[in-house]
Amino acid sequence: MTKKTTRAAAVLAGALTSVAVADLVQPRHSILRNYPVAGYARFLMEKIRPEIQQYFIERNFDGEPFDRNTRTMIYRRAKGKDDHVAFGTERDLGAVGYETLVQSLAPVQPADTDLRVTVGGPDCTRPYSASRFNISAMSFGALSANAVLAMNRGAAEGHFLHDTGEGGLTRYHLRYGADLIWELGSGYFSARTADGRLDREKFVANATRGQVKMIEIKLSQGAKPGIGGVLPKEKITAEVSGIRGVPRDRDCVSPSAHPEFSTPRELVRFVTELRELSGGKPVGIKLCVGDRTQFLALCRAMVEEGTGPDFITVDGAEGGTGSAPLEFQDRLGMRLTEGLMTVENALVATGLRDRVTVGASGKIAGGADIVRRLLQGADIMFAARPMMMAVGCIQAQKCNTGRCPVGVATQDPVRQRAVDVDDKGPRVRRYHDATVKEAVALMAAMGASSPAELTHDMGRIVLGPDETRSYADAYRWLTPGELLEPSTDTPADWVRDWERADADSFRV
Ligand SMILES: Cc1cc2nc3c(=O)[nH]c(=O)nc-3n(C[C@H](O)[C@H](O)[C@H](O)COP(=O)(O)O)c2cc1C
Ligand code: SF4
* 461 and 330 in a common domain: yes
Amino acid 1: pLDDT: 63
Q: What are phi and psi of 83, to 5 degrees?
A: -110, 15
CA of 396 to the centre of ligand 2 (A): 5
Note the helical H segments in 208-291: 238-244, 264-277
* 141 and 53 in a common domain: no
**In this structure, which residue's CA is closest to atom 6 in ligand 2?**
393
Domain with 381 in it: 117-499
Ligand 1, pocket residues at CB < 6 Å: 136-139, 142, 165-167, 183, 218, 221-222, 229, 286, 315, 319-322, 361-364, 383-386, 399, 409
CA of 149 to the centre of ligand 1 (A): 17
Report the b/e string of 161-195 with b at 16+ CB within 10 A: bbbbbbbbbbebbbebebbbbbbbbbbbbbbbeee
Amino acid 226: pLDDT: 86
Residues 25 and 115: their CA atoms lie apart, in Å, by 67
* 182 and 40 in a common domain: no
CA angle 94, 96, 97 (to 5 degrees): 110
Asked, for residue 65, whether it belongs to a domain, the answer is no
CATH assignment of the domain containing 214: 3.20.20.70
Q: What is the DSSP letter of 51?
A: H
Asked, for residue 507, whether it belongs to a domain, the answer is no
* 121 and 50 in a common domain: no
* 432 and 363 in a common domain: yes
pLDDT, averaged per 10 consecutive residues of the chain (508 residues), comes to: 85 95 93 93 88 83 89 96 89 94 96 90 98 97 96 98 96 97 96 93 97 98 88 87 84 90 98 98 98 98 98 96 88 95 98 98 98 97 98 90 92 94 98 97 96 96 94 96 97 98 93
Asked, for residue 315, whether it belongs to a domain, the answer is yes
Residues 175 and 134: their CA atoms lie apart, in Å, by 18
Amino acid 244: pLDDT: 83
CA of 19 to the centre of ligand 2 (A): 34
Strands 117-119 and 128-130: antiparallel
Asked, for residue 109, whether it belongs to a domain, the answer is no
